[in-house]
Structure 1
Amino acid sequence: MNPDLHPDIAAHLLIRAGSGAMLGRTPVDPREAAMLWKIIGIVAVVWIALAVIGALLEGLFPILVISAIVFGLYLLYKAVSGSGNSTVDKL
């Protein structure tokens, strides 16, 4: 046993070295871990936002198409009806 090395320091160094060696990697810096979680969080938020927008567009698209068809039929009816009080050109 080395007289210059305190037992508590030796135990601390052994535990620190062993924690990284158990998985075959070096210990991770807490700042790097925080940055990794930030990136994962941003990706998750963007993914959820795109899923919500996609669901809304998928649900609202048929309503948009039907309303465009009805509006076009209304304009066609007003143009063909020949009434002197036509407001088609005043849209």
Structure 2
Amino acid sequence: MVAKASWELGTAAETLLELSWPSLSVFSSSAFPPPSHLNATATPSDVLEIAKNTVSAKPVDSPLPLTEHSPEGQAFVLLLQAAWNSCNLFIASPQGA
């Protein structure tokens, strides 16, 4: 992926989610409350990989920016949804990421 800036990564993740995984989008009719678990074939591993790489690249002692209406805040919502669905999504993804 060519994107490097936080807004580019957030936009890429959000676009992939909307395009490839519309059932997991906040705009789907079943978005709220989020599902308690994901179907194994409905794991957005490409989107989760962006989130995983972004968080992994940050120094351990650096805070995650959570400003209102920021791309970082929007990307963090994706992480919260992934955590809500399963604490092992990154480990259990089909690619073993």
Scaled by the length of structure 1, what TM-score is found?
Answer: 0.22
- In the superposition, the TM-score normalised over structure 2's length comes to 0.21
Greater percentage in helix: 1
